[in-house]
Structure 1
Amino acid sequence: MSLALTGRRAVAAVFTAALLVPLAACGSDGGAESAGGSTASGVDLTVLAAASLTDVFKTAGAAYEKAHPGTEITFSFAGSQELVSQVSQGSPADALVTADTKSMDKVKGETGTPVVIAKNRLVIATGEGNPHKVGALKDLADPGLKVVLAAPEVPAGKYSKQILDAQGLTVRPVSQEPSVRAVLSKVELGEADAGLVYRTDADSAPDKVDAVDIPDAQNAVAEYPAATLKESRHAEAAAAFVAWLSSPEGQKILRDAGFQAP
């Protein structure tokens, strides 16, 4: 073998090795897929939640993301009946939290096992200072009072009808709203004199509305079940978030916002 041929083979070997080094480095880059097939981009969860959870879930979501780097939560708030319709129509999401168990039961074939994470009670919301001196449920039957209620298919509307019927009261609302937050908004804006909302809704607007308590014997207890959705693309992460809502940290955030223990 000639000396020239040996030299050319040596140069080729060195050149080939130089090409392989950066290729090997790309395979172990932290931004690429790991051995398990997951990426470093994290998980984005979509949670469908009852409108009355708007404020507290924004706080809970921020706390969860801080404690679980790489997980981001996007909430979609609406009346429970609307959320159930979205699930039935196949809207992509990872978890569902409603303001009553009946709504959750309507999509039981689409969810994991629900767990109640909190409870709530109704109050009478009035304009700031309670200008019409509303003091009890019976006052809502006054035909001169503009009362707004949640629509009958909305959990807050069902609870409202339940407690008014139990007292034998006939209330003729000026409007029936698609969510409890819409009821609150009507009272805040002065478009209604009073409305039935959850305690936590009234507490969210202390400078705009007053809350008139309803005795427990005349009230209804709202339960909030949470469940993962079977079509979730992030089943493990969704289950972790739902479980966290029942953890001491999650429960403290709910209690601080005025929700009752499950």
Structure 2
Amino acid sequence: MTTRPTHRRILHPAVGGTALLLALSACSSSDDSASASSSPASSASDLKGTVTVFAAASLKESFTELGEEFEAAHPGTKVTFNFGGSDALAASITSGAPADVFAAASPKTMQIVTDAKDAAGEPATFVRNQLEIAVVPGNPENVATLKDLTRSGLKVALCAKEVPCGAAAQKALDGAGLRLTPVSYEQDVKSALTKVQLKEVDASVVYKTDVKAAAGKVEGVEFPESAGAVNDYPIVLLKDAPNASAAEAFIALVRSGQGRKVLTGAGFLTP
């Protein structure tokens, strides 16, 4: 920080009290400006560079929106995303993939990263998500319950069991005492949803947020067993984050009131 030289001024008696007050006022204004320039808000505006976020596939729409808001608030920054199954993303991080932030769809997949000591701090749960059955528009197979998915001849896709949406679906099925053999296991929730959109299957168990994001391309069927299989979503700054300061600011946005507004608007539940 450059120190400005101090200039002395001698006030002649003729100048009087008014000039003295003006001088003091100017000095005070200068001090206020210096204070403002060193405030956190001003420092935040100096953030630059790329923030790389690895995030669960179900966060795609809401995180993309938050990324655009972040870039608008911090000119000179860019948020890039790698969306996918949380288990695959965690494996990439522990294998050395460069990233700043990890947002997982379950504490279990986050633990892969924390156990490997690749997290810079303690993960924080920022939202929760609940399952829903996605069916073809018009629900031609009249799927009304989770048990209906076990009907003979009904084609169902599930997320793979190691993926959070698949683990949650299996938990709901186990809780209801149901056995289901799907026609396919998908590596992330968006792939499971796409199977329904393309009418390759009659139904799939996904998140409510994914049904909402599909905007009429599928219909959602709620089922009570989903209440016992709600997933918590944790987020964390990664230990070797290439752009830690900007990454922390992005996490702050996600956890802020504005971030929560975007996420709940997409159908996520508050922690």
Say which of 110, 113, 127 aligns to 2:118.
110
Say which of 183, 187, 201 aligns to 1:178.
187
Say which of 162, 172, 196 aligns to 1:163.
172
TM-score (norm. length: structure 2)? 0.80
SS in structure 1 opposite 2:130?
strand
| Structure 1 position 216, deviation (Å) | 5.8
The equivalent residue for 2:3 is none
The equivalent residue for 1:13 is none
| Structure 1 position 113, deviation (Å) | 1.3
Say which of 215, 221, 228 aligns to 1:212.
221
Q: What does residue range 110-149 of structure 1 map to in structure 2 within 5 Å?
A: 110-111=118-119, 112-149=121-158
Say which of 252, 262, 266 aligns to 1:257.
266
Q: Say if 1:128 and 1:219 are closer, same or farther in 2 by CA, change over 3 A.
A: farther
Q: Give the ranges of 4+ consecutive aligned residues of structure 1 lying more than 6 Å apart after TM superposition.
A: none
Q: Say if 1:208 and 1:219 are closer, same or farther in 2 by CA, change over 3 A.
A: farther
- Relative to structure 2, which stretch is displaced further, 216-225 or 161-170? 216-225
Say yes or no: does 1:88 pair with 2:73.
no
1:220-243 per-residue CA deviation (whole Å, 9 max, x = no partner) reads 111110001101121122112112
Say which of 221, 226, 230 aligns to 1:221.
230
Q: Which has the larger radius of gyration?
A: 1
- Relative to structure 2, which stretch is displaced further, 235-244 or 54-63? 235-244
Q: Distance in 2 between matches of 1:128 and 1:114?
A: 38
Q: Distance in 2 between matches of 1:41 and 1:107?
A: 26
Q: Distance in 1 between matches of 2:228 and 2:146?
A: 10
The residue type paired with residue 60 of structure 1 is L
The residue type paired with residue 52 of structure 2 is T
The residue type paired with residue 80 of structure 1 is S
Q: Distance in 1 between matches of 2:95 and 2:178?
A: 37
| Structure 1 position 206, deviation (Å) | 2.7
Q: Say if 1:69 and 1:167 are closer, same or farther in 2 by CA, change over 3 A.
A: same
Say yes or no: does 1:60 pair with 2:66.
yes
Say yes or no: does 1:195 pair with 2:208.
no
1:131-184 per-residue CA deviation (whole Å, 9 max, x = no partner) reads 100000010111210010000110000000000011011111000000011000
Q: Distance in 2 between matches of 1:206 and 1:66?
A: 26
| Structure 1 position 219, deviation (Å) | 4.0
Q: Distance in 2 between matches of 1:217 and 1:131?
A: 22
Q: Could you tell me whether the CA contact under 8 Å between 2:129 and 2:209 is conserved in 1?
A: yes
- Relative to structure 2, which stretch is displaced further, 93-102 or 61-70? 61-70
| Structure 1 position 41, deviation (Å) | 9.2
The equivalent residue for 1:247 is 256
Q: Say if 1:229 and 1:192 are closer, same or farther in 2 by CA, change over 3 A.
A: same
TM-score (norm. length: structure 1)? 0.82
Q: Distance in 1 between matches of 2:229 and 2:251?
A: 25
Q: Distance in 2 between matches of 1:257 and 1:160?
A: 20
Query: Any stretches of 5+ residues in structure 1 without a counterpart?
Result: 1-39
Q: Distance in 1 between matches of 2:206 and 2:248?
A: 30
Percent sequence identity over matched residues? 44
The two structures, once aligned, show a CA RMSD in angstroms of 1.4
